[in-house]
Amino acid sequence: MQPPGREDRLAEVPFHRMDDLIGGLIQTLLPWMQELPFAFFGHSLGAIVALEASRALARHPLPQPVHVIVSARAAPHLPLRREPVAGLSRGGLERWLRRMNGTPDAVLQSREMMDMILPSLRADLDMDDKYRPRAAPPLRCPLTVLGGLGDDEATPEELQAWSTYTTGKFTFRLIEGGHFFAFNHAQSAALAAVADALTGVGKIGM
């Protein structure tokens, strides 16, 4: 799945609304959901996408994920620790990205590359800034939450608060690293945690 505004769809307008993104995601993935058991994994804003996609499926007679795995995101009902950043000037946004330490210096130092990624980045941040969870039944599948021990964006208590979002098994694991632990030196530990979560999953709907 490739959302608009990214990679080979750079010329397209990216989504600014969560409902639009979820609708496109489900429409695109539904053929594969019909054939095989599946799980959702989401990091940071992606954690919210994973939750809302699962909720959207539950509102219809559609296949359900056998597991949802989220990382580096406080429980949805809790306020973001950061101030809204989507409306920052270019310079302000670049300084914020440097503080977050998740964008390679080569990208930050390249005006051409920043020109390409900023529209979709602002759209994601706008979506994140404006997101407000709606009341919904808890998930029925297991929920695994991963967090970085040094993540200033989501404390262990804020991650643990995800426990109310499922009636299934809840697992919480902390991994060495900051907000982007799943994509740097702790990637192998994060992948191992995902593999552990998915070991022995059963049929769709269990």
Tell me, yes or no, if 44 is annotated catalytic.
yes
Residue bearing tokens 């101030």: 83
CA nearest to 15, candidates 127, 113, 130, 134: 127
Strands (E), the chain: 39-43, 67-71, 143-148, 170-175
User: Any idea of the CA torsion for 53, 47, 165, 140, to the nearest 10 degrees?
Assistant: 50
Cβ-contact 143, 166 below 8 angstroms: yes
Catalytic residue among 44, 54, 71, 120: 44
Cβ-contact 127, 18 below 8 angstroms: yes
* Cα separations in angstroms, 158 against 64, 74, 150: 26, 5, 13
Q: What are phi and psi of 41, to 5 degrees?
A: -125, 135
Burial of 48 from C-beta contacts in 10 A (0-12 / 13-18 / 19+): buried
Active site residues: 44
